[in-house]
A = this chain, B = another copy of it.
Amino acid sequence: MSDKRKIAEAVITRLSIYNRALGEIGKEGLEIISSDELGNRIGYSAAQIRKDLSCFGEFGEVGKGYFVQDLRDVISHILGVDRKWNVALAGAGHLGSALLAYPGFKQWGFNIVAVFDNDLAKIGKKWESIVIQDISELAKTVKEQDIRIGAIAVPPQVSQEIVDMFTSCGIRAILNFATASITVPEGVKLRNVDLATELECLSYFLTNEAEVRSEVLGKIKNSSGEGG
């Protein structure tokens, strides 16, 4: 059942999680895995996994399970990560530098090919082969370098400005680390990495649920936010 209905964002998020798990499983040398076993590892139900996959096609072998490598290739293709993406980073401060130094992005196929700041002390400095550019060059560079994804690591007060710069030069996908309420035009996908919200959810849990829940401690549960 792989017709082109609107797929829920939650499905995509889980696909990404399945994909990572499949990578780990592959490294262990396992060639085939059932939805049940995969689910146990990552804390989702077998039915959920099968339903999610069924949005895109039939990839399993009845009575057997899924070929780990094949399923991985399929999911990678669905996610569009069987290619490289060029990423621009705005803000070369503490967080921006950590992101730049992080080899994970490149490994996953997301290349930070340009970095922008407005601090004269930083502009012109190099990180590996990338020279930090003046923020005013953003639009030009985005076009020249075929950049499709923008990452935002500037202070909250200016984050909306940067979003606007990105969207007006054609960027359709933005990863925002600034803790601010920002807005994008329709047709642009924004994902927020919002530490304040993460911590506040933990705080809520500790305040309102932790005691009650801990009574039933013992069983293992999932790894994706619903640990209780």
Instruction: Give chain A's interface residues, CB within 8 Å of chain B.
Output: 7, 9, 12-13, 15-17, 19-21, 24, 41-43, 78-81, 85, 94-95, 97-98, 101-102, 104-105, 108, 110, 148-149, 172-175, 179-210, 213-228
Interface contact A85-B195, CB-CB below 8 Å? no
**Is A189 within 8 A of B210, CB to CB?**
yes
User: What's the Cα separation between A80 and B102 when bound, in Å?
Assistant: 33
Given contacts A187-B210, A187-B216, A192-B224, contact A203 B9 (CB under 8 A): no
Which 8 A-B pairs give the minimum distances between C-beta atoms?
A80-B207, A173-B202, A187-B214, A190-B227, A98-B98, A16-B200, A189-B205, A16-B197
- In the complex, the answer to whether A189 meets B80 with C-beta atoms within 8 Å is no
Given the known interface contacts A179-B104, A191-B202, A204-B79, the answer about A185 and B221 at a Cβ–Cβ threshold of 8 Å is yes
Residues of chain B lying within 8 A (CB to CB) of residue A108: 196, 199-200
Minimal beta-carbon separation of A99 from chain B (angstroms)? 8
Please determine whether B94 and A187 come into contact, CB atoms closer than 8 angstroms: no
A185, B16: Cβ atoms under 8 Å?
A: no
List the B side residues contacting A24 at CB < 8 Å. Answer: 180-181
Contact B186 A220 (CB under 8 A): yes
Known A-B contacts A16-B200, A196-B108, A203-B79; the reply to A213 vs B228 at CB < 8 A is no
- In angstroms, Cα B9 to Cα A140, docked, is 41
Known: A188-B228, A201-B191, A225-B9. A101 touches B110 (CB 8 A): no
Across-interface contacts of A214 in B (CB, < 8 A): 172, 187
A187 touches B217 (CB 8 A): yes
Q: Of all chain B residues, which has the CB nearest A110?
A: B199
Using known A-B contacts A101-B94, A104-B179, A223-B182, determine if residue A149 contacts B187 with beta carbons closer than 8 Å. Answer: no
How far is B227's CA from A20's CA once the two chains are assembled, in angstroms?
25
